[in-house]
Amino acid sequence: MKTRKTNLDERQERTLLEIESRGFWLAFWGLLAGMVVETVIYGFDFGHMAVEWAVFMVMALYVAASCARNGIWDRRLKMNAATNLVMSLIGGAAMAALNFAVILARAPGNLSLAGIAALIAGLMTAGLIFLALSFAAALTRKRQQELEAEPEEEE
């Protein structure tokens, strides 16, 4: 890989990478929070948040594909079904809460309708997240095995 000339020493290079990383994650979670707030306030109107959604999805897909390609799962979380289930349930609960808030904002007083719709949305989301995480874990595990099987490059 060809590297460009830099005016930074190793310490400065590492510091810059950390700054860029924090900036990326600030933008990522900021976009998500902004879309959630807009959804609760205005309802889901794709026309109003199409650009934010597109940028968010490009960021998410880039990170997911890059991590899988390099055999990286997470710094702290284990790559197993139990972790996938917990993360899926968290995502499902978040979607249920968002749906509940949006339905109540549009039709106050329909608690039973909001509860049933939120439950269905939460369960469906949890199921889809579990499938996606399981698929991503399988790809990452396969890539880790490929990387471990490659002979080390000699200089």
The model carries a pTM of 0.74
Q: 95 and 129 in contact (C-beta within 8 Å)? A: no
Residue scoring higher pLDDT (85 or 64): 85
pLDDT value at 62 more than 60: yes
Q: Flag whether 2 is in a domain.
A: no
| Two tokens, residue 87 | 């993360």
Count: domains in the chain: 2
97-121 residue pLDDT tens: 989 988 888 888 888 888 999 999 9
CA-to-CA distance for 92 and 118, rounded, in angstroms? 9
Q: First CA to last CA across the chain, in angstroms?
A: 13
Q: Where are the alpha helices (DSSP H) in the chain?
A: 10-42, 46-69, 81-106, 111-149
Please tell me the predicted confidence (pLDDT) of residue 152: 66
Whether 17 and 76 share a structural domain: no
Q: Flag whether 4 is in a domain.
A: no
Confidence class of residue 25 from pLDDT cuts 50, 70 and 90? very high
pLDDT value at 151 more than 90: no
Domain that holds residue 15: 10-69
